[in-house]
Every structure is written in C-alpha cells, then in structure tokens.
Amino acid sequence: MIASAGGAAQRLHALSVDVEDWYHDGEIPLRDPPGERVEGNTLRLLELFAACGARATFFFLGEVAERFPALVRAVVAAGHEVASHGFRHRPVQRLTLDELREDVARSLRLLEDVAGAPVAGYRAPYFSVRVQAREALDVLCEAGVGYDSSVLGTPGRGGGPRLTCPRSPFRHGNGLLEIPVAMLRVGGIWYLPLASAGGLRVLGTERVDRLLRTFEREVGAAVFYLHPWELDPHSPTAPLPGRWLLRIGRAGVAAAMREMLQRARFAPIREVYAGVLAGEDCSGGLRPPGGVRAEPA
C-alpha cells in the first residue's frame, strides 16, 4: 500500500507486459512474419496505461526489439521499465545451455543498446524456467540478469496445494532473485496465474479483483501480466491445438483491463520491489503464506 494524494491507502501492484506478436506463440519463423500486429497493439497499450496513470515492465522479445527499435524507445520515453523476454520465443527446455546463453546475452545487448540503459529483468518464453533448473538459472546469473520472473509455482511432489516455490520474491540457490507472477488461490486449494489478461477473460474484473485482494492479505504486492495481442480481438491465433481458447472473451479485455487499472496503482517491477532488488531480506514482509514453501532447489 502507498498513500494517495488524498491521504487514503492505495493498493500497489506490479504490471508486466510480454512484448511478442501472436505468431511467436507458434514459433513461426520471423523471416516471413504473417500479419505483424505487435507495434500497433503495444502502442495502444501505452495509450491505455497513460490514460489510467499506470506504468509497467515491458519484457521485450529480442526479435521484436530488433524489428521495432522505436517501439522500445517509446516505452522508455513513457517512463516504463524495459526487460528481456529472450531473443527468440523458444522454451528454455528446448535450448542447449550454449543456445540459452547466446539467446539471453543477445537480447540483453540489443535492448541495452536500443534503450540506452541497463536491463535488469528477464522472463523466459512460456514461463519455461523451473525452480529445479539449476544450470539454466546459473546461465541467467552469468549473463548479469538482476532478477528473473519466469518461475510459476506448480504443485509439488504429491500434488495438492503445496507449490514448488513461494508466491513472493525469493532467491534461488545461486543468489538469483526470483519475482514470480502472482499465483492466485482459487477455491482455497488451487493456485493459478490468473492475475493476467487471461484471468480477466475467463473470470472478469470483479472476480480477479477479489482474488487479488486475497493475495494482498496472504503475500503482498502481486505481479500482473499480459500480452499486447490479448487486447486485440482481430489478431489471429497460432494454429496449435487448444489455442482457439485464447480468443474467448478477448473483445472485452480492453475494457476489463481499463477497469482493473483504475482499481489500484500499477508500477514497474523495479519500483514495486525496489527493496528486495536493493538486497533486502526476501523473508521479511514478503513471506509466503502457510502451506506454501519452496522445494529444495
């Protein structure tokens, strides 16, 4: 919470955007991109955020930044944080360590050159870093990543409500800071990444807002995420099994997102978690709730 101009407490969360086009979901080769829409959709997002007084962390895919460097600079000029989404939209598990090392380093070099400032954050495509992936996490550390936001807490051994990692910021065994996307508790048992445009599509603003309030009580500030194409009802969908579900409710996402941005204050990850990024103990006011713990890394 922070104090608003009128003195009342105002909710504070982190907002994040994975800047990729619709076809990156299907890993369609970039040499002949079919119907690019990422530039226009991201500019519309910038307009929406400006109108609602929200700022965010934009995790840019390197391929997008390379094709649209002016888009990166527009994000910086609007006061947002630029972070890396890797260079090519490929799951970490499908890369060798050398390929991952090159992919991460290439994206960081490009983004820092275009943005004119250091880039601290990284989020893997498909949230494909796992808490047990020691070697991949070491690659991120070696590359100079300041924080990762790739790990989703999933059911641990034996299933049930126990997750493989905390829902609040924590440090991996190699010291890398993890700032996970919010896993919202549904039905008192299940934890899902519904602090997202996908959550708004499926549940609506009121329900997501109630789940976020529960998260605030149990954990603290949440990391919300979305993709530019999710607010574009005319954007195609990758021709993959089950991807048609991504179209359900998309026409109402822009209005739902606008309402969500008016219910709380949203800022970049680097600001919301400035304390832990500066080295404060993650176990202080950001403890995971009872029953949720990290499995041995």
pLDDT tens, position by position, 261-289: 999 999 999 999 999 999 876 653 333 33
Residues in Cβ contact with 154 at an 8 Å cutoff, skipping those fewer than 6 apart:
163, 164
Residues in Cβ contact with 51 at an 8 Å cutoff, skipping those fewer than 6 apart:
258
Grade residue 296 by pLDDT with cuts at 50, 70 and 90: very low
Q: For the segment 169-184, what is each residue's pLDDT rounded down to a tens digit?
A: 999 999 999 999 999 9
d(CA 166, CA 192): 13
Confidence at residue 190, expressed as pLDDT on a 0 to 100 scale = 85
Residue with tokens 């403890």: 287
Confidence at residue 289, expressed as pLDDT on a 0 to 100 scale = 30
Confidence at residue 8, expressed as pLDDT on a 0 to 100 scale = 40
d(CA 242, CA 219): 32
DSSP H or E run through 162 = none
Evaluate whether 273 touches 179 at the Cβ level (below 8 Å): yes
Taking CA 49 as the corner, what is the angle to CA 11 and CA 72, rounded to the nearest 5 degrees?
125
Confidence at residue 292, expressed as pLDDT on a 0 to 100 scale = 33
Q: For the segment 106-151, what is each residue's pLDDT rounded down to a tens digit?
A: 999 999 999 999 999 999 999 999 988 999 999 999 999 999 999 9
Q: Tell me the domain boundaries of the chain.
A: 10-277
Collapsed DSSP state (helix, strand, coil) of residue 152:
coil
Residue with tokens 């060798």: 96
Grade residue 6 by pLDDT with cuts at 50, 70 and 90: very low
Rg, C-alpha atoms of the chain: 18
Class of the domain covering 10-277:
alpha beta
Evaluate whether 172 touches 136 at the Cβ level (below 8 Å): no
Confidence at residue 159, expressed as pLDDT on a 0 to 100 scale = 53
Closest CA to 219 of 297, 131, 291: 291
Does the pLDDT of residue 17 top 70, yes or no?
Answer: yes
Look at the pTM and tell me if it is higher than 0.85. yes
Grade residue 236 by pLDDT with cuts at 50, 70 and 90: confident
Mean pLDDT over residues 234-255, rounded?
84
Grade residue 160 by pLDDT with cuts at 50, 70 and 90: low
